[in-house]
A and B are shown apart, each in its own frame.
Chain A
């Protein structure tokens, strides 16, 4: 009887598989008209040069060049005038293709000036595009919320990593947690943001499963985000996740840059603490 039930079950699954062939296919559609927009990504990291990436979005079905140089030329927005003002000092970011040697991240507007570790005063962004349109943004750099400690706990030969920090109950805070394995270039194992309303206590712990063995290297990064950055990050992820997902609702991207250029993007301070742990 058991065998019969197993065979019937396999027969049902096979039948469904056969009937369900070709339920996916490519189709021709016409999307709503789209006008290219400027996209700003500017992260102010104290002690590092001012650096900004200014690109242009495209219509979804716009043709794409397979030549990397041509691809970048179409992607990167040129001939803009970019300044960041802080405490009355105007820092001009010149058009330069800049690659951070430690992070391998791109920028196309940079300055030799270093971002000051000022957690009080505002930074004001102003971009005048080559068409003469404006992009504006304002931000502050939040104080770093330091990782209190890292604990490694073992179960048999496997280990998990707990990351502790202290969240102030006096302020409304937003955090982003990124966990990389092996190197910072690797695809993050964890990358999510949350507000502090979830936390039951001031001492907060982020954890992993018992996934690691001796010799594994873990990079724990905790970003202390502004609300603007939190909203931008969240809506980017929602937009990504909702493509083809019937239970998700798409979203426009919440930006903190504005102006006559109708830009999308984020201008924010980058405050983070990072610890490297080698499983022993």
Chain B
């Protein structure tokens, strides 16, 4: 929000209301309300609500309501009383609303105290070329500076040197743990159901806590409250269908959105055809599905109720006469939210959320069965007050309490008759709390400050409690209308940790609470930068950051992760630091839109007593250079051309530098090549780059619209490194009556994951 600069001592009045899309009734987040007479204004909050206070006067005052991609509306009022003005904005036109849409205008972004933040538009993301034609909002976020995507095709997020678990991902305010399908190749977010996605990389607002490196705030659509409509698509990997409509026109609505893959339909058919064929190998089955649902009700002029839910699952299975394997994992979230307007200045959001992530692996052989699972469940209650205190101060305050329940590494294995039995696993619980207050105020004519304080705590099942003070500060100094200087500081605490023993995110990664031994992780981040509006349509931002990381967790060398009741004993604790520079040039309007982003960054971790004698090393995601170029060109009303070019320095890898020969004991084999690993991550993989191209061709029908989206992923067929390994070749010789294997040659080999991959998707809406 940006504020007014009125004189003190005057009588004031407040205008408040909500801003919505005139076509479908969706609230518009971050829409702008300007008062040109006073050179001031504000924006709608994440619930579409706004409140602005202006001095009393007898002259008429014009209020301008605007949102990119929508027609601007003006209202003329006399400021002699508090007024409620609810606005419906009309989309400008079909073409523009599809292509050139952004949740925040570049001018507002320039003036805002918010920095280190990117707002992603779902419509824009849908136009970009996508892996297998599956639009993925997380993969779009990976194209932003400061965000590293991890290995090829993965939906992992490594933000400003932070690990994959240091991102708070919320869907309608409910936390989503392990937000991915198919071992990280796709995220759990169905773009058809999404309204708004915002990522904070630093300068975290006080209402957010619990993770060190980023907040990804995903908001679902509310559903068209004007008319019944639908949309969907049929693609190479999955199909989608979304239905939405009014329950009571203008007052309440619903939306249901589902997605499912169908390669298992084909593999099941092939397996059935080969059922009686001698020697035929059965193909394992795999599928995933998502379901998002939401209803919302206007209970009166001051009250709104929303209920939403998400359910998604991945299922991988294989069975034959003696073997039955099933691996499934997924998330379920639920949100119930109540918005209440006490008076023109005071708005309350109360939310109850439930989150559940679990995986389960079961394996049945003849006479033997095996089951392992882990889960994390949360129940969370939060309150957020927005108080437009006066012309110069805008307060936010609130709190939350979350009950966590963790099931860690449960294992049960043995014979079906009970004669053989093994088991392991632990259950924990913990309560996490937070309270915050923040004030955004106009300190000087050109200086806006957002200052806040968050107090967080965590009480674990062993009655160990931790308390954390988290100051937050963000400044915006307007040099002139075009240039702003920004700075921020944030301290964050993280009480729930993702324990992952690999460089990629897996569904079997374990969430673990802070305990007496496992202290909360901390980060302190300072950032500074410049924001420069070039003309009307270009915004250049340049930011520098430094982040101190405390109580970082790594696994010791040789950590025993499987079937370990005392997994804490495998942790080592240390610290780290990350620093870097980000450039971004973005264009949001016109025939050509997109952005160019460049990041230069370092991250190091060290001080772990059990790792490299405490010396510092690079984590796997220490990528030095990252360049992305994203372009969307509106050729004409029917055709859009899109492209994305990505370049990154190779990730660091841990390769063996030596080898030894291991004879072993009686009854076992002589092993001539055992890798000897030295210091961690000293090898730099080859640089990564690829070009994705896309084309969208639109059609109009009596019943609605459709388009064909053609994507070519990795258009020039670059064979990027996915795995690098060392392969010995052997020869067996007899020496003195002993057979020994001699390695005759050792080769380094590279495996790439994706060659050039064309795809086509048919999308429709009615």
Contacts and interface: CB of A to CB of B under 8 A. Distances in A.
A111 to B, nearest CB: 18
B678 A252 contact: yes
B655 interface: yes
Most A-side CB within 10 Å, residue of B272, B322, B676: B676
Contact of A197 (B424, B679, B745): B424
Interface in B420-450: 420-424
Contacts of A28: 748
Contacts of B660: 37, 39, 55, 57-58, 253, 264
B656 interface: yes
B270 A31 contact: no
A90 interface: no
Given A23-B755, A235-B557, A254-B558, A60 B746 contact: yes
Given A25-B750, A55-B661, A71-B742, A221 B667 contact: yes
Interface residues of B, number: 93
A254 to B, nearest CB: 5
B748 A246 contact: no
Nearest to A151: B419
B735 A68 contact: yes
B726 A243 contact: yes
Interface stretch (A80-88, A119-127, A136-144, A199-207): A199-207
A5 interface: yes
A131 interface: no
Interface residues of A, number: 95
Contact of B665 (A27, A31, A206, A270): A270
Interface in A128-186: 155, 160, 162, 178, 180, 184
Interface string B7-19: 0000000000000
Given A60-B659, A197-B424, 9 more contacts: A2-B272, A5-B269, A41-B662, A58-B658, A201-B421, A210-B366, A234-B558, A235-B558, A252-B557
B266 A251 contact: no
B557 A155 contact: no
Interface string B720-740: 001111110001011111111
Q: Chain A contact residues: over half helix, strand or loop, or mixed?
A: mixed
A99 B221 CA distance: 75
B674 A239 contact: yes
Contacts of A198: 411, 422-424, 563
B735 A37 contact: no
A162 B757 CA distance: 51
B751 interface: yes
Interface in B648-704: 654-669, 671, 674-679, 682-683, 686
Contact of B366 (A21, A99, A155): A155
Most A-side CB within 10 Å, residue of B566, B661, B752: B661
Contact of B662 (A59, A201, A236): A236
A97 interface: yes
B504 A247 contact: yes
Contacts of A2: 269, 272
B327 to A, nearest CB: 13
Contact of A239 (B506, B656, B733): B656
Interface string A6-38: 101110110000011111111111011110110
A155 B674 contact: no
A222 to B, nearest CB: 11
Nearest to A11: B266
B282 interface: no
Contacts of A236: 662, 674
A114 interface: no
A34 B265 contact: no
A184 B666 contact: yes
A46 interface: no
Nearest to B739: A104
A47 interface: no
Nearest to A56: B660
19 contacts: A21-B755, A23-B751, A25-B750, A29-B683, A31-B683, A41-B663, A59-B659, A60-B656, A60-B658, A61-B746, A66-B744, A68-B735, A103-B666, A105-B666, A197-B565, A200-B421, A239-B676, A251-B677, A252-B678
A126 to B, nearest CB: 21
A178 B668 CA distance: 8
Nearest to A104: B738
Contacts of A41: 662-664
Nearest to A254: B558
Interface of B: 151, 263, 265-267, 269-270, 272-273, 322, 365-368, 411, 415, 419-424, 501-504, 506, 555, 557-560, 563-566, 654-669, 671, 674-679, 682-683, 686, 719, 722-727, 731, 733-740, 742-753, 755-757
A33 B663 contact: no
Contacts of B679: 32
A210 B655 CA distance: 39
B266 A8 contact: yes
A194 to B, nearest CB: 8
Nearest to A19: B755
A248 B502 contact: yes
A191 B676 contact: no
Given A155-B366, A209-B367, A239-B676, A27 B749 contact: yes
B535 to A, nearest CB: 44
A52 to B, nearest CB: 11
Contacts of B566: 197
Contacts of A29: 655, 683, 724, 748
Interface in A217-253: 219, 221, 223, 231, 234-236, 238-240, 242-253
Nearest to A60: B659
Nearest to A75: B661
Most A-side CB within 10 Å, residue of B559, B723, B724, B742: B742
A93 B179 CA distance: 59
B662 A99 contact: no
Contacts of B745: 64
Contacts of A160: 367
Contacts of B753: 23
A37 B661 CA distance: 11
Given A25-B749, A68-B733, A207 B666 contact: no
Given A59-B658, A178-B668, A207-B420, A250 B723 contact: no
Among all A-B residue pairs, the 7 with the closest Cβ atoms: A244-B725, A9-B266, A34-B657, A235-B558, A57-B660, A34-B658, A205-B420
B657 A60 contact: yes
Contacts of B267: 9
Contacts of B420: 162, 205-207
A58 B683 CA distance: 18
B601 to A, nearest CB: 23
A88 B1 CA distance: 81
A6 B270 CA distance: 6
A53 interface: yes
B668 A191 contact: yes
B667 A155 contact: no
A102 B760 CA distance: 65
Contacts of A8: 266
A278 interface: no
B151 to A, nearest CB: 7
A184 B266 contact: no
Contacts of B724: 27, 29, 244
Contacts of B563: 194, 197-198
Given A97-B736, A246-B722, A10 B270 contact: yes
B187 to A, nearest CB: 19
B750 to A, nearest CB: 5
Contact of B502 (A23, A61, A247): A247
Contacts of A245: 723, 725
A9 B270 CA distance: 7
Contacts of A49: none
A89 to B, nearest CB: 25
B501 A53 contact: no
Contacts of A252: 557-558, 676-678
Contacts of B734: 68
